[in-house]
Structures are given as C-alpha cells and as structure tokens.
Amino acid sequence: MSDPASELSELTSVEASIALRIATASEPDELSALANEVNGRGSVFVAARRQIGSLPPDERRQVGRAVHDAMKRLESLLIQRREELEASGEELRRRVERLDLTEVVPVRRRGHLHLVSQAQMELEDVFLGMGFVVAEGPEIETDWYNFEALNMPRDHPARGMFDTFYLRAGEPGSLMLRTHTSPVQVRLMESESPPISAVMPGVVHRRDTADARHTPTFHQIEGLVVDQGVTFADLAGTIEAFTGAYFGPSSRSRLRPSYFPFTEPSAEFEITCTICGGSGCRTCSGTGWIELGGCGLVDPAVFEAVGIDPEVWTGFAFGFGIDRCVQMRHGIADIRVLMENDLRFLEQF
Ligand code: DAH
C-alpha cells in the first residue's frame, strides 16, 4: 500500500463523491449501483480493507477504523436516501390516485350502486316478475340453520363443502358466518306456511383462498318454491327463464346430476359460456359451459326439520353466486376486482 496519509485522503475524497451522488440519486436503481461502490466488488473501501494486513502494526488500527467508519457512514446515507425515495414514490402515487371527496359537482351525479348491487337488484326484478317475493336473513347463523336443519348433522361429510368461519362466542362451533344463503330457506319455512315462492339474496363467507374465480366473501341468491305437485320440470323451467332473462336470449342452461344434502335429487346448473358462446375456451376449460349454482327438489328431511308435512308438500330450491353471474355477463377476468373498490373499474358500470 502507498503512504497511509495519502491513502486516507483518497478514501475521504471517494467517500465525499459517493455521498454526493447518494444525496442526489433519484431512482432506487442508482442507489443499488452506489451500494455496490461502497461494499461490492470493485469498491475502493473493500480493496483498502483487504490490504490492511500488510501495513505496519501501528497503522493498521488507524486505517482500519477510518475505512470501517467511512463505509458505515455511506451505508447509513444509502438507507436514509432509499427511505426518502420510497416515501416520495408513495406520495406521488397518493397524489395521482387522490380522490377529492369534498368536491361538489352540481351537474353530474357522482357515485352509483356497485356492480354487484346492480346485478342483485336486476336479478330480484327478474324473480319478482316470475311471482317470487324477496326475503332476507342474518349473516351470522347458528349451527341449526346453516347445517343441521339442512340435513347436515354434526360430522356430516358434506359440511366439508363449506369451509366455515366460526365465531368465538357461545358454545364452540355454535355460531358462524353463514356459508350459504340456504339457511334463509329454513327460516322462511319456519315462519311462513306454504305455498311459498321466495328468493333470498345475501352475503356469504367461506374460508377460501381468493383467486380469479373465488373470493372468501361473496354474494348468493337462494330460491325456494314449496307447493303441491312441484316437479323437477318446474325447477328446470325456472332456471332456464331466469338465466335467459339475465344473460340474454342466446344463453342456454343445463342441469347436471350432483349432490347436496338438502335436495334429492340434486343438480348443478350451468349456462353456455358467455366468453366463447359455447364453443369452448380457457374460461370454461374447453367445455362450453360455466357452472352457476346448485339446485334440486327439497329433501323430505328438510321439510320434517321445519314441521312441513312432506306427504302433502313438495318443493324445489336453488342457490347461485351473484358475483359469478356478474363475472360471466361482463367477461371479467379476475373476480377480485369486485371487492377492491377501485374507481377506475367501478366507474365503467
Ligand atoms: N347452498 C349451496 C351452496 O352454496 C347451493 C345450493 C345447492 C342451494 C342446492 C340450494 C340447492 O338451494 O337446492 O353451495
């Protein structure tokens, strides 16, 4: 190593030059390059440190300390500048996305119902036109309504279809966020006597991981008809009628055999994929059909649970996702936008 005094003064001037460039850096990438000059390969400080061992013992400590301190000072400047840049990036983003909620625009009406609320009301209108009434039930449910009365006693394997959020209240497992709108059927049958034709919209919750087609909180509409002599054909006709009214006359529906504890027989209903019109695409996994919900004839066990005589009364029920309907009708690739409240999305509807 050359004379330690001139070595130290060179390090001081390198430090000053790097410090100046840190202070004026405007991009995180610049800081990464500067960090490399401080402690990466090619750093004069690292090189100096490596040569310390060859100095006379009395100089080692002095030079070692000087190099170490210079590096520490520069590292803390780097951290500080990175924080400043992040803060101003955040600030800029906030300024660009800022909403002035105090702004009064006298002419144009601002704000409108969320797309899902619009769809819910439109679907309610369709059902009202078909002679249904609209009913609602609570979002926090008891085990009886969400499961037991729907022919799912404790330990029934079908409970596994519904990954449930339980509340820390009352007996463990006795209170939950409802996992479907089917419990409202039970409430209705307990409080009204047949004939009944009602739809029951509402929010439901499941411990599901969000992805392009699922969110843990979503919306369903339940349907229930109880009368004498109700058949599967009545159910199929109802589904064909409402899907046609909501998705347009070119849409078709079909039923596929399935299983639900509260209906027998049970089916899933599907509509022709609105993205490809039924020819098969990625969204419908090439099948041309998209599943909307479940349905079936009310299981006699459910009638018995609510005190309706299954020898006299028959019925059908169905349940489907409103968010899924919206996704299909508007060709929305990722259903999570419905929960994010981003005005750039919401304003389009
Ligand atoms: N509750 C079911 C679910 O969320 C959907 C359903 C299936 C509702 C069949 C019904 C029915 O009324 O009859 O998966």
* For ligand 1, mutation pick of 295, 297, 298, 320 (most atoms within 8 Å of CB): 295
285: CB partners within 8 A, 6+ apart: none
CATH superfamily of 115-346: Bira Bifunctional Protein; Domain 2 (3.30.930.10)
What confidence tens digit (pLDDT) does each residue in 274-332 have?
888 889 988 888 999 999 999 999 999 999 999 999 999 999 999 999 999 999 999 89
- Kindly state if the Cβ of 296 falls inside 6 Å of ligand 1: yes
What angle, 0 to 180 degrees and rounded to 10, lies between the N-to-C axes of helices 4-24 and 44-51? 150
* For ligand 1, mutation pick of 182, 235, 324 (most atoms within 8 Å of CB): 182
The answer to whether 202 and 136 have CB atoms below 8 angstroms apart is: yes
Q: Which pLDDT value is given to residue 77?
A: 94
Closest protein CA for atom 12 of ligand 1: 318
Whether residue 178 is predicted with pLDDT greater than 80 in this model: the reply is yes
Q: 220 alpha carbon to ligand 1 midpoint, in Å?
A: 9
- Kindly state if the Cβ of 180 falls inside 6 Å of ligand 1: yes
- How many beta carbons lie within 10 A of that of residue 285, not counting itself? 11
Q: 320 alpha carbon to ligand 1 midpoint, in Å?
A: 7
Residue 213 confidence class, pLDDT cut points 50, 70, 90: confident
Q: 238 alpha carbon to ligand 1 midpoint, in Å?
A: 15
The answer to whether 296 and 90 have CB atoms below 8 angstroms apart is: no
What confidence tens digit (pLDDT) does each residue in 77-103 have?
999 999 998 888 888 888 888 877 787
Half-sphere CA count of 177, side-chain side, radius 13 A: 13
Q: 291 alpha carbon to ligand 1 midpoint, in Å?
A: 12
The answer to whether 235 and 171 have CB atoms below 8 angstroms apart is: no
Residue with tokens 């009434």: 133
Instruction: Give the mean pLDDT of 168-197.
Output: 96
Whole-model pTM: value is: 0.72
Q: Cα-Cα-Cα-Cα dihedral of 322, 324, 325, 331, to 10°?
A: 140
Mode of pairing for the β-strands spanning 253-260 and 217-227:
unpaired
- Kindly state if the Cβ of 268 falls inside 6 Å of ligand 1: no
Ligand 1 atom at minimum distance from 204 CA? 4
Secondary structure, 3-state, the chain: CCCHHHHHHHHHHHHHHHHHHHHHCCCHHHHHHHHHHHHCCCCHHHHHHHHHHHCCHHHHHHHHHHHHHHHHHHHHHHHHHHHHHHHHHHHHHHHHHCCCCCCCCCCCCCCCCCHHHHHHHHHHHHHHHCCCEECCCCCEEEHHHHCHHHCCCCCCHHHHHCCCCECCCCCCCCEEECCCCHHHHHHHHHHCCCCEEEEEEEEEECCCCCECCECCEEEEEEEEEEECCCCHHHHHHHHHHHHHHHHCCCCCEEEEEEEECCEEEEEEEEEECCCCCCCCCCCCCCCCEEEEEEEEEECHHHHHHCCCCCCCCEEEEEEEEHHHHHHHHHCCCCCCHHHHCCHHHHCCC
Ligand 1 atom at minimum distance from 319 CA? 8
Residue 1 confidence class, pLDDT cut points 50, 70, 90: very low
Of 180 and 64, which is predicted with more confidence? 180
